[in-house]
Structures are given as C-alpha cells and as structure tokens.
Amino acid sequence: MAIVDFTNVFQMLEQTVENSPQGPAFRWLDKGRGEAAATVTWKRFYDQVETVSKGLMALGLEKGDKVNVISYSCYKWVLTDLGTMAMGCATVGIYHSNLPREMAYIINHSDAKIVFAEDHTQLDKLLKIRTEIPGVERVILFEGDPGEEDWVMGFDAFMGLGTTIPTEDFKERVQGVGPEDVAAIVYTSGTTGVPKGVVLTHDNITFTAQSAFLTFDWREGDETFLFLPLAHVFARICVYMTLFCGTPTFFAQSMTTVIDDIKVARPHWFASVPRIYEKIYSKIIANAGAKGGVALKIFNWAMAIGREVTALQVEKRPLPLGLMLKYKVATKLVFEKIHQALGNRVRWCISGAAPINPDIIKFFHGAGIKVLEGIGMTENASFSNVTRHDDIRFGWVGPPGPGIEQKTGEDGEIMFRGRNVMKAYYKMPEKTNETLTEDGWLLTGDLGEIDGSGNLRVTGRKKDLIITSGGKNIAPEPIEGILATGTYINQVMILGDRERFLTAVVTPDPDTVSDWAKKNRISFKTVEDLVESKEVKALIQGEIQEKNRDLASFETIKKVIIVPEFTIDNGLITPTLKLKKARIKERYQQEITAMYQDVP
C-alpha cells in the first residue's frame, strides 16, 4: 500500500466518508450513567466538521488564524480540531490540567483569537486571566451555561452560527488549504524551560497517519480506546490514523474512570504512555503477592510458562505440544483475568512518549498482549519508529515507518528526516536552527544505535546522561525503569552527575503501600504520613536493594530519599506524566545534597 498525497486533512476525511459513510466513527459514555450515549457515523462527523468551520468563518476567522482548545479528550475536541484545520486555521491544544498562568503563555504566544473550553472549571481559569489575554475575541464553552458574559458563547449557539454560512463559501476555504499550510501548533510539555510551539503542516499529519498505519496489524472491525490528552500529539496521531482507515474511537470519560470505561469500550488496541503499563504491572504483582499460598504459586507458574512461550515466539520457533497445553491452562487460570480487565478483545497496545522497561513488555507478551514500543517526539508528529508485530525485539523500538529516514551522528545522536518532521518552532527561529539541519535532519537529543536490519535502540538522552566522578557514562532512564517495577515504588529520579555514586528520589506507590501499612497495622491518615514512616522507608530501601542485584556495580543506587508523589498539581510532572527533573532537584536540593555529604 502506497502513501497517498492528500492536499489537506479534510481531504483524508472525505475519502473515509466516501468509503464508509454510515460506519461508526466515535463513541463515548454518558457521564455518570455508565452506558453508551452516542455513536457518531463518519457522515455525521463530516457534516458537523463543516458546521464548525462555518461557525469559525462566521466569527470572522481567516486562513492562518489560531484556535485554542482547553479540554480533556472528547468528541467535541476532535470535532473542533478538524473543523479548525478544514477552513485553514491552526488548532493549538492546551492541557486541561494547566494552571491559568501556563494557559496565558500559550494563548498569547500562539496568537489565538478563539478559545474552546471544556466546562466552567476551564472557563473560571480563563476569566482569571482575561485581562492578560487581550487577543482572545471569544470563548466557546463545550459544556455548561455561558451565562450573561458576552465574551463567552455556548457550543450549541456557536454551531448555530455555522448555519448562516453558505456551503459554497466553506468549500472555497477548504480548496484553499494546501499540504504545506499550518494545521496545528503543538506545545511541548515543558520538562525544562519554556514550552516550544511545534508547527505541523497538513502534510505532516496526513503523511504520519499513513506511515504509522502501515506498521500495525489493522483488521476490519477494529476499535480503539482513547484516554491520553489530545493536547499531546501522540493522542492526535492515533485519532488521525483512525480517520484515515475509518475505524471507530471510543473516548474515556476521564483518567480516573479508565479502568471501568475500557471494560465497556472493549477495544482491540490502544495507545498509552509507559506509566500506565507500569501501574497495571505493579498492581497485578502486588495482588498476586497479597493472595499468597496456592494462588501465588499458580501465578508464578503461569508467569514462568508465559516467559517460556515468549522466548520461543520471539525466536519464531514452534511451541511444543506440551507447552501449548500448559499455556492454555495458564491463560485460563491467570492471563484471562488480565484480558478481561482490558475488555477481553485487546490484541496489541502501543507504548510511546517515554522509555519503558523491557521486562514489563515481556510480562504482557507472556500474557498474550503485545505491547509495541515506539518512539516519536512532538517535532516529528510523535512517530518515527515502532516494533513490528512479527518481529518483537525487547528493548528496541523497531525500524522507522515507511518514508522516514534515520541515522546516528558521530556522537551517537539519533536523527530523522521525512515528511513527518515539523516545519519550525513557532516564533523561535534560533531554536529551529538548533534542531533542524540545513538538509532537513531533525536532531532528537536521543542517543542510540541502529542494527543491520534498521532496528533502533535508544540508549539515553544527551542532556540526561550522567557522568560520574569516576568517568562512568550512565543513562538514567533504563535504571529508573527497573526500579519503577517495584511493588511499592511509584516514581523514580536517578541522580549522580559528577558524583561518586548514584542516588535516587523515590515516591511510594499510594495503593500498594497503603495496603501494606494496613496489613502491618501501621497507623496513618494520608499517604503523605507514610512517607515519614520508618517502616515504609525500610520497605522501599529493601526493594531498592533487591533491584540493585539486576544492575552493574556502578549503576546501583547507594542512597535514597523518599518523598510525596510527583503530580501535575505540585508542578513536578508534565500532563504526559514525564518528570520535571530540574524542578524536582530544586524542590529537594537540601535532601539531595545531604545524600552526598558522607560516603555510604
């Protein structure tokens, strides 16, 4: 299958509508009722996209204008996105968890004229900064009563504006949008410094959607489940893939309802960041350990059978009859429960946006669920490489997608070139020149190696690389991934640059540590109380020592400080769950310094 040269994103939608007008496009749950509220067909979606475009035209928006969307992932987010791009404007997503000051920066920097807000929670934030965002002409509320505020309009009233614009005028706008026109500006989540606005064109999006699609095991009737934030390009590309191939997307109600929602959605595949897989893995291991006795022995036996099956499958060797029978029993007794928790239809998942511990991928593979590790960054539309279904290599992110070139520099830096690479950073020419070479190569800042078959393995980040005082070069991410598989460990940040040894800042897992404390009759009111508990500190220290056995001597963690959970609210992680390491170091500088004052 060859990659099609679409003129713009709307043309990709037109093809899908032509092929499957009455096919399901999007589904979601009615909040609070726990039952399916709506299924929108591709034709219905197409018509509503046209109405959104006309509504923006009625508000006076011209080609090239910017539109912000501040909302959790939902149907109206995608509808607004496509309607904005169709008539030549650019969508700029803002995380619904962002603080008012963070919202103000992106709104002003992106030069937005219209802001779509999810509900009154987001509207209240906007009202607090109204005087700081003078360029915003109108706020359109997805849900809730806009009240008497002239600055705010309800979504139904906005859609009503679209009926005043002739269809001929809309079609003229669409025809004026070309492949190199700006479709979106996606702001990086800002683990360090000021967020940068990545400019993506219509060609970036239509190409990447197809290149990614061609790497996966798509089947007729497949459905996906979306809970990642659409302000992140990773989630957006998943939606654009389904837009291209015409398969439906089921929206989660919220991050807190994902476990219940996925059982209703019953997806065949979904995408997630590593932290979600880590949490599922830790929960399963903790539950098995808590049962103990015969149940734990059965669980461990099943895990051993799964590992044996995985090893043979990866080597593409046939399974002996005896092993096949044992695996069927293991599936019935143990693995089937994991499948049921995910809706009982999941064949494969994608892990992206950050490194994942290979042991976690092996665990799911043994249970019959392929977790395909991929790599991408906002600057290349969130996709360059992914593990192929028929060539699983744990710890590698596979070859690049069709039409994407890769290479490594003299220092091992990974570089990509292709139609997925951004146009520029918005209003940051110096940063653009630092990131894009004259001949079109994107400098990723990642270090890695490429084998003879084109498979890529990421070994670390140039800026994150720890060089100890003894001269050892250590990539912290793999070690953090190993420690994060601990039953009682939640988040981990490794330290040790220019120091004699490695240390770590660790947060305890709130669920497993709370259960352990109750079982051991340790009194507490909140999880924060447990952080100061000497028993919990000993528990975490013991797990760290256990994990140290899997590490080289120079990689082992000599000292640990245990702190409360890193959250979006306390400013220590991004909305995509990445650690803001500079802020964590600043927050706990005194404790970190103390770890290096004495030889361990």
Report the amino acid identity of residue 478: P
Q: What is the arithmetic mean of pLDDT over 274-288?
A: 86
Give the pLDDT score at 275: 81
Phi, psi angles (nearest 5°) of residue 502? -90, 145
Give 456's Cβ-side CA count (13 Å radius): 29
Give the pLDDT score at 369: 94
Sign of the alpha-carbon dihedral angle for 560, 562, 568, 572: negative
Residues 432 and 435: their CA atoms lie apart, in Å, by 5
Report the amino acid identity of residue 69: V
566, 483 Cβ separation under 8 angstroms: no
Q: 176-190, 371-385, 387-401, 451-465: which range is least confident on average?
A: 451-465
Of the chain, the percentage scoring pLDDT greater than 70 comes to 98
| More reliable by pLDDT, 276 or 463 | 276
Of the chain, the percentage scoring pLDDT greater than 90 comes to 69
For residue 67, the surrounding DSSP H or E stretch is strand 66-70
Residues 529 and 540: their CA atoms lie apart, in Å, by 15
pLDDT at 492 over 50: yes
Give the pLDDT score at 471: 72
Condensed to tens digits (0 to 9), the pLDDT of residues 43-79 reads 999 999 999 999 999 999 999 999 999 999 999 999 9
369, 340 Cβ separation under 8 angstroms: no
Residues 367 and 376: their CA atoms lie apart, in Å, by 26
Give the pLDDT score at 600: 47
Q: pLDDT class for 193, splitting at 50, 70, 90?
A: low
Q: 27-36, 296-305, 317-326, 588-597: which range is least confident on average?
A: 27-36
Condensed to tens digits (0 to 9), the pLDDT of residues 244-259 reads 999 999 999 988 888 8
Give 232's Cβ-side CA count (13 Å radius): 29
CA 376: distance to chain centroid? 10
pLDDT at 33 over 70: no
Q: Is 270 exposed, middle or buried (0-12, 13-18, 19+ CB in 10 A)?
A: buried
Q: What is the arithmetic mean of pLDDT over 425-447?
A: 95
Condensed to tens digits (0 to 9), the pLDDT of residues 402-412 reads 999 999 998 89
Give the pLDDT score at 224: 96
Name the residue among 198, 190, 184, 247 with its Cα closest to residue 425.
198
Residues 136 and 151: their CA atoms lie apart, in Å, by 9
Tokens read off for 81: 């996105």
| More reliable by pLDDT, 383 or 283 | 383
Residues 396 and 364: their CA atoms lie apart, in Å, by 16
Strand 502-508, strand 489-495: pairing: antiparallel
Residues 12 and 27: their CA atoms lie apart, in Å, by 20
Residue that the structure tokens 């292709």 belong to: 418
123, 222 Cβ separation under 8 angstroms: no
Q: What is the arithmetic mean of pLDDT over 494-522?
A: 89
Q: What is the arithmetic mean of pLDDT over 338-365?
A: 90
Q: Is 220 exposed, middle or buried (0-12, 13-18, 19+ CB in 10 A)?
A: exposed
362, 394 Cβ separation under 8 angstroms: yes
Q: What is the arithmetic mean of pLDDT over 179-206?
A: 89
pLDDT at 207 over 90: yes
Tokens read off for 125: 């934030």
Tokens read off for 320: 């002996």
Ramachandran bin of 398, using left for φ above 0, alpha for ψ from -120 to 50, beta for the remaining angles: left
Residues 59 and 46: their CA atoms lie apart, in Å, by 20
Give the pLDDT score at 357: 85
3-state secondary structure of 333: helix
pLDDT at 237 over 90: yes
Strands (E) across 409-555 are located at 413-417, 424-425, 442-450, 456-461, 466-467, 473-474, 489-495, 502-508
Domains and CATH numbers, the chain: 9-201 (3.40.50.12780), 274-344+346-461 (3.40.50.12780), 466-595 (3.30.300.30)
pLDDT at 32 over 70: no
Residues 578 and 275: their CA atoms lie apart, in Å, by 9
Q: 82-86, 97-101, 121-125, 186-190: which range is least confident on average?
A: 186-190
Strand 348-351, strand 370-375: pairing: parallel
Point out which residues pair with 502 in neighbouring strands: 557
Condensed to tens digits (0 to 9), the pLDDT of residues 443-487 reads 998 899 999 999 999 988 887 778 787 777 788 888 888 888 888
Cα-Cα-Cα-Cα torsion 71, 73, 75, 80, nearest 10 degrees, comes to 50
Mean predicted lDDT score pLDDT of the chain: 92
Look up the pTM and report it: 0.85
